[in-house]
Structure 1
Amino acid sequence: MTVFGTCSPPRTEQAGIPSPSLNTKGLKRSSRSRHPDFGRIIWTIVNRSNALLPGSPNYLALNQLLEICPPAKVPRPLQFATYLAFGLQTMASTTSNGLPNGSAHTIRFIPSRYDSQDSQQSATRLILAVRPEWASPDSKIEFVRFTDGITNTLLKAINKKGGWSQDKVDSEAILLRAYGAGTAVLIDREREAQNHALLMKYGLAPELIARFNNGMLYRYIKGRVTTPDDLRKPSIYCAVARRLAQWHATVPCIPSSPSPLTNGVSRGATGGDSNDGRNGHVDHHHHHDAARQLATQALIDNTAPGKLAPNLWTVMRKWILALPTATPEQRARQSELQEELDSLVKQLSQRPGLGDNGLVFAHCDLLCGNVIVLPPQSSGPPNDDNDDDTPSVSFIDYEYATPSPAAFDLANHFAEWGGFECDHSVLPTRSQRQEFIQQYIESYYNLLPGEAKVDRKAEVAKLNAEVDLFRGIPGFYWGIWALIQAIISDIDFDYASYAETRLAEYWAWKAEADASRAASGRELPLRERRWCQDEVTEMKLRHTISGRTISTTPQR
């Protein structure tokens, strides 16, 4: 099978045989890959310069082929060279100068899989596909498992080659990321790869070396993963503020794939799940009902009219539509969440904000495990307002990244100070949020020279107010996420209870917003008390926490 995205043609494209014209006439659905020019057409489309720019004849021709042939037989355009789908055709001439060991090139696709039942052998095959020299007699490949959760399996592949120092071993290390079972209903894996390629262009992600059927390979970032305690340290949260401002100020929001049938609910069909795209109750039969899929996608994309899709609001709409509806209770829950989302969209989606049309390229999952403290004197890109005495951080895992109001990205990060245990007593106080947002605004506008005359004090006050408005939305977002996880996950965690915990945060916020809590005389919940607090009185608050605990840490 052809390795798409490399320079190796299929056997039909041998010496002296010219590349065929991209004429797909006669390639009927019934003929599928039996068409005599099928392999040559695909190879020519993939390897011609700029062949897959959106809207080009070759892009349209390839989409026609994908309609004719099963997606399992023909990789999507992003599996050939991810950067092409968003016109990042200049990436080959740019450098990933942001992280210790990044470089940019065309992204390969390896037609192979990681198999958790044959972890060592399948992982080794994937690594040798991109590092064949690691098969030398003096090489010794080892794998370090970082996490094994619902969203992914993450392995660090190292070569303890004779004569290499530990620093050299780490600088050459590769991370293997295999997608978790069923997660295509939650995560658009092609969009994730697009995000990674885009961030590479701006020096904000490590080199994406290759994609394979159910995952990706990328460079290891040397550094230390933070803990929830770290996020609450001023030196760290100011570094997070600077890096988040860099994301929001420099990385453009990008639209989705031009082909509707590679968007939204149907994307799970090519998302590369470890369970071959079988996502529980969700119907992902390839093109089984194209009209229904297109109608559903139109509904999703129009969630927030006038906004670039996908975005925060379309993601939540997609998730709500994926909830189970087998019982009256499930249907009532889905209807309730639909109504709440409609209300939130009316209240919040059209508010003015930073970025393009109120949207920035947001990470949307800045929990401690996705924040890396870089080593001192890192070769990472310079951050304004940073010096040698302050730490620098980088962000990993871009699977949830999407255009979003900046206030949501900040509010979501603040919610993560409590960890998966949802310890509301350690969430940032008003003064801590103020310090974070001041650092963020300074860095954001320093990266926009044309906006140097902006009243930054006023901007801090505005963003503070917006984050306050958005403080309940992360609970809504991750509550829906956990309801789906309760259906698709096969790990030992009570996602149903976690969903109710997160949704309770949303309901508490709403009760303050509409004044229903005060009218009823109910006590102000701990999370809302902490949010209103000016100074840190952490130990006192800890004694007021209820006995609720969550015994296991889930993985996103």
Structure 2
Amino acid sequence: MGEHLDARPANGHEHSASSQLRYLDLTFDSKDLDQSALSLAYRIQPKWREGPGKIEITKFTEGITNTLLKLTKHVPGYSQSQLDQDSILLRAYGNNTEILIDRDREASTHALCADRGLAPPLLARFRNGLLYRYIPGQVCTPQDLIREPIWRAVAGRLGRWHAQLPVSKVKNAPHDINGQSQKENGIPTEHTQALCNPASQLPAPNIWSVMQKWIHALPHDSPKHKARKELLQHELDRSFNDLQNDQGPGSSGLVFGHCDLLSANVIMLPKAPNSDAGDKLEVFFIDYEYAVPCPAAFDIANHFAEWGGYDCDYNMLPTKSVRRQFLQDYLDSFKAHSDNPVSENMLEFLCAEVDRYRGMPGFYWGVWALIQATISQIDFDYASYAEVRLGEYFAWRAEESGGRTEKNGEMPLREKRWQEP
């Protein structure tokens, strides 16, 4: 592990949102976890090296992509609150995840969110990760998401997120639809034509261009892989034409979405000591690596899909009435934090639009999992997960087209749950 320290921007872009962020020319090595983590922490907190008190390293296990550690210096006499305030979170990227995630954009997004009080302060970047302040609180579980005080808090926070983060801050040039040059990606031009013209009118990157990039990254070294890639490309083109419009909240129907609001990325904040029992619960969102402009309906439908957790327990999904209440709270918060007017019929529109987008999270994470199955070193059955998630998409398609009814097939559990009042 190198010892060079540099203050330059990690990506070389002088005008990015994270251009002034401290850069540590060090690499985290999971095989030497403790020493790697300490070497990074000492650069941020030099007094930790010699000061009294041990350094505790806690590994979080909720994620299936990255390594997340909390480093706490147990200074004698400090309260737990003081210890947490000085603690550092270290997030090291998963193997080859740059295929899926633009790490420069992630750092810029984190800095943008922190500037608006929507993310913990960034402390530094290093070669394969980020260091940032710890947010005291309790990580949610899928079981927590179905509790009314929590889903109402999530709805309010998401409304604020979508209202306060400007889509205009997304870097547009000199990238193509995929956020990278076609020359860099080696992407055949003919494969981008279906999405290029309409999507080129949207800020790039966006949720559609990200999915396009992922499909280009899929293996095509066998007839089976090639056929699957062609099918997914067809479905992406079809979905863009069917779903994308400029009618939702935000700029031209787009908001700056989190796009990964699973339970582990929702933190329940502790109540203040002098708070009343009736005070509303507050939540905080973490991990912004998938944040990108998208229709609000996609971000919300994606969050609803996460109520089932990695096990995809569809009995946990919100019913129609719960979704409507969530969307009302979301819109109330959006209007409270935005200067842009919201139409009177926006609640009805969003209820229908989230309905229409309910299959797209399965497509999004299904393609993602197909790539992870080829690159990840984490012990998780990505291939099976991909089939389950893509199955959600095709079940939605069959329901929308009437194909299931024509074949006298049984309605899948996920679709049944979605129809419940």
Does the alignment reach a TM-score above 0.5?
yes
| 1:131 correspondence with 2:45 | yes
Counterpart in the other structure of 1:313 = 208
Encode CA deviations 1:372-393: one digit per residue, 9 max, x unaligned.
00011399xxxxxx99621000
Of 307, 323, 338 in structure 2, the residue corresponding to residue 417 of structure 1 is 307
Provide the rounded CA distance (Å) in 2 between the counterparts of 1:128 and 1:262: 40
Counterpart in the other structure of 2:337 = 447
Counterpart in the other structure of 1:178 = 92
Report the AA paired with residue 72 of structure 2. Answer: I
Measured at CA, do residues 141 and 516 of structure 1 come closer, stay the same or move farther in structure 2, by a change above 3 Å? same
Encode CA deviations 1:303-357: one digit per residue, 9 max, x unaligned.
6231111001001000000000000000000000000000011111234211001
Report the AA paired with residue 85 of structure 1. Answer: S
Provide the rounded CA distance (Å) in 1 between the counterparts of 2:25 and 2:186: 30
Encode CA deviations 1:396-426: one digit per residue, 9 max, x unaligned.
0000000000000110011111111111112
1:464-479 correspondence runs (5 A): 464-479=351-366
Indicate the RMSD between aligned Cα atoms, in angstroms. 2.7
Counterpart in the other structure of 1:85 = 16
Report the AA paired with residue 500 of structure 1. Answer: E
Provide the rounded CA distance (Å) in 2 between the counterparts of 1:197 and 1:479: 29
| 1:461 correspondence with 2:356 | no
Provide the rounded CA distance (Å) in 1 between the counterparts of 2:387 and 2:16: 38
Deviation at 1:293, TM superposition (A): 5.9
Contact 1:231 1:237 in 2 (8 A): yes
Deviation at 1:136, TM superposition (A): 2.3
Counterpart in the other structure of 2:391 = 504
Provide the rounded CA distance (Å) in 1 between the counterparts of 2:273 and 2:256: 24
| 1:110 correspondence with 2:19 | no
Question: What SS does structure 1 have at the residue aligned with 2:307?
Answer: helix
Measured at CA, do residues 226 and 149 of structure 1 come closer, stay the same or move farther in structure 2, by a change above 3 Å? closer
Measured at CA, do residues 76 and 298 of structure 1 come closer, stay the same or move farther in structure 2, by a change above 3 Å? farther
Question: What SS does structure 2 have at the residue aligned with 1:346?
Answer: helix
Encode CA deviations 1:203-259: one digit per residue, 9 max, x unaligned.
100000000000010000000001111100111000000000001111101332644
Encode CA deviations 1:163-214: one digit per residue, 9 max, x unaligned.
2222211110000111111111111111110110110111100000000000
Counterpart in the other structure of 1:523 = 410
How many positions carry a matched residue from both structures?
416
Q: TM-score, normalised by structure 2?
A: 0.92
Of 483, 506, 516 in structure 1, the residue corresponding to residue 370 of structure 2 is 483
Provide the rounded CA distance (Å) in 2 between the counterparts of 1:378 and 1:358: 41
Contact 2:207 2:294 in 1 (8 A): yes
Which deviates more, 146-155 or 180-189?
Answer: 146-155
Report the AA paired with residue 415 of structure 2. Answer: E
1:30-49 correspondence runs (5 A): none
Contact 1:150 1:181 in 2 (8 A): no
Contact 1:362 1:403 in 2 (8 A): yes
Structure 1 unpaired stretches of 5+: 7-45, 47-74, 90-105, 267-286, 380-385, 535-556
Counterpart in the other structure of 2:155 = 241
Counterpart in the other structure of 2:171 = 256
Counterpart in the other structure of 1:513 = 400
1:9-158 correspondence runs (5 A): 75-77=10-12, 84-86=15-17, 106-147=20-61, 150-158=64-72
Provide the rounded CA distance (Å) in 1 between the counterparts of 2:95 and 2:267: 26
Of 325, 328, 348 in structure 1, the residue corresponding to residue 243 of structure 2 is 348
Measured at CA, do residues 479 and 303 of structure 1 come closer, stay the same or move farther in structure 2, by a change above 3 Å? farther
Q: TM-score, normalised by structure 1?
A: 0.70
Question: What SS does structure 1 have at the residue aligned with 2:125?
Answer: strand
Contact 1:429 1:531 in 2 (8 A): yes
Provide the rounded CA distance (Å) in 1 between the counterparts of 2:76 and 2:318: 48
Report the AA paired with residue 96 of structure 2. Answer: G
Report the AA paired with residue 267 of structure 2. Answer: I
Contact 1:210 1:217 in 2 (8 A): yes
Measured at CA, do residues 378 and 314 of structure 1 come closer, stay the same or move farther in structure 2, by a change above 3 Å? farther
Provide the rounded CA distance (Å) in 2 between the counterparts of 1:225 and 1:173: 16
Provide the rounded CA distance (Å) in 1 between the counterparts of 2:191 and 2:138: 40
Counterpart in the other structure of 2:283 = 393
Which deviates more, 337-346 or 348-357?
Answer: 348-357
Counterpart in the other structure of 1:31 = none
Counterpart in the other structure of 2:325 = 435
Counterpart in the other structure of 1:13 = none
Counterpart in the other structure of 1:30 = none
Question: What SS does structure 1 have at the residue aligned with 2:199?
Answer: coil
Counterpart in the other structure of 2:230 = 335
Measured at CA, do residues 182 and 499 of structure 1 come closer, stay the same or move farther in structure 2, by a change above 3 Å? same
Provide the rounded CA distance (Å) in 1 between the counterparts of 2:311 and 2:223: 31
Contact 1:246 1:447 in 2 (8 A): yes
Provide the rounded CA distance (Å) in 2 between the counterparts of 1:450 and 1:378: 36
Counterpart in the other structure of 1:5 = 7
Encode CA deviations 1:84-111: one digit per residue, 9 max, x unaligned.
314x89xxxxxxxxxxxxxxxx410000
Structure 2 unpaired stretches of 5+: none
> Any runs of at least 4 consecutive aligned residues in structure 1 with deviations exceeding 3 A, and if so which?
1-4, 257-266, 289-303
Provide the rounded CA distance (Å) in 1 between the counterparts of 2:176 and 2:202: 20
Question: What SS does structure 2 have at the residue aligned with 1:238?
Answer: helix
Deviation at 1:114, TM superposition (A): 0.7
Report the AA paired with residue 174 of structure 1. Answer: I
Contact 2:257 2:291 in 1 (8 A): yes
Question: What SS does structure 1 have at the residue aligned with 2:16?
Answer: helix
Provide the rounded CA distance (Å) in 2 between the counterparts of 1:441 and 1:291: 39
Measured at CA, do residues 378 and 498 of structure 1 come closer, stay the same or move farther in structure 2, by a change above 3 Å? farther
Provide the rounded CA distance (Å) in 2 between the counterparts of 1:292 and 1:440: 41
Report the AA paired with residue 406 of structure 2. Answer: A
Contact 1:265 1:318 in 2 (8 A): no
Identity between Structure 1 and Structure 2 (%): 48
Provide the rounded CA distance (Å) in 2 between the counterparts of 1:180 and 1:155: 13
